[in-house]
Amino acid sequence: MIRTSTNKAFQVTWVTRSFLDYRVAVFAALDRAFQGTLHVVYSTMWTPPRVQRKIAAILGERAIGISGEKRLGRDARSDFANTRVCVPYQPRLLSTVISTDPDLVIGDGFFRWTPAALACRITRGIPCVLCYERTFHTERNAQWYRTAYRRMVVRYTDAMCCNGRLCVDYSRWLGMPAQRITTGHMAADTESLSQRAAAVSVEARHNLRSRLGVSGLCFLYVGRLIRLKGLRQLLAAWTTMEHSHACRDTLVLVGDGPEKDVLAQYVQEHLLKNVRLVGAIDYDNIAQYYASADAFVMPTLEDNWSLVVPEAMACGLPILCSQYNGCWPELVHSGENGWVFDPLDSDEILRVLTLATEQRERLPSMGERSRGIVSDFTPQHAANAILEACHIALKSRRRAPAGHMTENTRASIGGSSCGTS
């Protein structure tokens, strides 16, 4: 057990309104580093029950779910960034965070539940770390008041952990000093997915491909069916390829959302015989689709860091990735493990689809290159990046936290193998 000089266990509390399966492995790695003192405060309204069960199995009573949230405005899960205003109010949030007696708090981004973490920082002097994802592109339409608020929050933030280089660029523009930024907090549950994909038998892959009617290459998309994912643009380019190139390959779209009927109608009207909309697949069963595909395509018009990309990479797939996806500089090396394209340019989409079909013999080796690249983006690497941000936050505070860390604690954090950006 890590102890402070006052013989009090060093407590870290992560305040997050919601999270999905991929974050559970990061929480587990952090909890190991802090020797069982991590608390996670989350909303039972927004975190799926299966994920709540997973985090409870790891943290026990230190996984604290609260309900009863009120909202002014509406969440924008299907919209582009900064197109709606939603102010959530959870009356028990601040008191719940304080009840964990934190020596350091971690928040997700600037909005949602992060104000509770900031309140601890401002009123109690507790060091605050923010995990952040946005880029200049996702924030290209941010209103002045959002930007002003973010700049104000940065003044009270002791350290940030960004997902990648594009996020660092934006965070520095907001005013966060480079020496107080680490990178790499975004990580899919790559190890588990890789193992599950490897466990899919040849027969199971053959059966799934037969059921989907795949006779050539299988291009796979996994995600929500919403406008910002660029699926209309993808289908427009696919129409040209299917009709003009006697294409035998198949495009498989896994997911659900408000665009499902629109996309289905497009497929029908344009007589696309090689497009399959298979609907939503439970996360625990998605590995068989990754294992049965030949390439992964992500045509998003706006994304911070699509976690399905490292998921697909962990399962050995080459990646066709939009340049508007914040993860591409780190994860997609054009010509090595895939290609980057502009989804607003139909010729560009067609170009990378054609490249994949013309170089189909190379796709397996490109998939192996994906495995190698994503091996540096595991949950443990993410935990190390967050730990380094915690170390920076503790050092940068003008006033010491309520309980000073012991040398063993400092070694635990300072020894993380993560560099700053």
> What integer pLDDT is reported at residue 355 of this predicted model?
95
Amino acid at 383: A
Phi, psi at 183, each rounded to 5°: -130, 150
Amino acid at 293: A
Residue 1 lies in a domain: no
Four-residue CA torsion sign, 23, 15, 392, 29 = negative
Tell me the two tokens of residue 18.
């919601």
> What integer pLDDT is reported at residue 415 of this predicted model?
38
Residue 420 lies in a domain: no
> In sequence order, what are the beta bridge partners of 130?
107, 160
Residue 325 lies in a domain: yes
Residue 374 has pLDDT above 70, yes or no: yes
Q: Are residues 50 and 170 in the same domain?
A: yes
Residue 138 lies in a domain: yes
Q: Are residues 142 and 231 in the same domain?
A: no
- Residue located via tokens 């971690």: 106
Q: What is the 3-state secondary structure (H, E, C) of the chain?
A: CCEECCCCECCEEEECCCCCHHHHHHHHHHHHHCCCCEEEEEECCCCCHHHHHHHHHHHHHHEEEECCCEEEECCCCCCCCCCCCEEEECCCHHHHHHHCCCCEEEEECCCCCHHHHHHHHHHHCCCEEEEECCCCCCCCCCCHHHHHHHHHHHHCCCEEEECCHHHHHHHHHHCCCHHHEEECCCCCCHHHHHHHHHCCCHHHHHHHHHHHCCCCCEEEEECCCCHHHCHHHHHHHHHHHHHHCCCCCEEEEECCCCCHHHHHHHHHHCCCCCEEEEECCCHHHCHHHHHHCCEEEECCCCECCCCHHHHHHHCCCCEEEECCECCHHHHCCECCCEEEECCCCHHHHHHHHHHHHHCHHHHHHHHHHHHHHHCCCCHHHHHHHHHHHHHHHHHHCCCCCCCCECHHHHHHHHCCCCCEC
For the stretch 190-249, pLDDT in tens is 888 899 999 999 999 999 999 999 989 999 999 999 999 999 999 999 999 998 867 889
For the stretch 22-67, pLDDT in tens is 899 999 999 999 999 999 999 999 999 999 999 999 999 999 999 9
Least confident range of 106-115, 126-135, 163-172, 217-226: 106-115
Residue 388 lies in a domain: yes
> What integer pLDDT is reported at residue 276 of this predicted model?
96
Q: Are residues 399 and 364 in the same domain?
A: no
Residue 83 has pLDDT above 80, yes or no: no
Residue 352 lies in a domain: yes
Domain range for 328: 190-374
Q: Are residues 27 and 71 in the same domain?
A: yes
Q: Are residues 383 and 314 in the same domain?
A: no
CATH of the domain at 85: 3.40.50.2000
For the stretch 40-51, pLDDT in tens is 999 999 999 999
Residue 353 lies in a domain: yes
> What integer pLDDT is reported at residue 89 of this predicted model?
75
Q: Are residues 131 and 255 in the same domain?
A: no
> In sequence order, what are the beta bridge partners of 72?
87
Number of domains in the chain: 2
Q: Are residues 43 and 139 in the same domain?
A: yes
Q: Are residues 160 and 200 in the same domain?
A: no
Q: Are residues 58 and 85 in the same domain?
A: yes
Mean pLDDT of the region 259-285: 93
> How does residue 76 score in pLDDT terms, banded at 50, 70 and 90?
low
Residue 5 lies in a domain: no
Burial (CB count within 10 angstroms: exposed 0-12, middle 13-18, buried 19+), residue 103? buried
Q: Are residues 279 and 168 in the same domain?
A: no
CA dist 268 and 280 (Å) reads 20
Q: What is the 3-state secondary structure (H, E, C) of 351-393?
A: HHHHHHHHCHHHHHHHHHHHHHHHCCCCHHHHHHHHHHHHHHH
Amino acid at 408: N
> What integer pLDDT is reported at residue 411 of this predicted model?
45
What pTM did the predictor assign?
A: 0.86
Q: Are residues 176 and 203 in the same domain?
A: no
For the stretch 280-323, pLDDT in tens is 998 888 999 999 999 999 999 999 999 999 999 999 999 999 99
Q: Are residues 393 and 278 in the same domain?
A: no
CA dist 290 and 299 (Å) reads 17
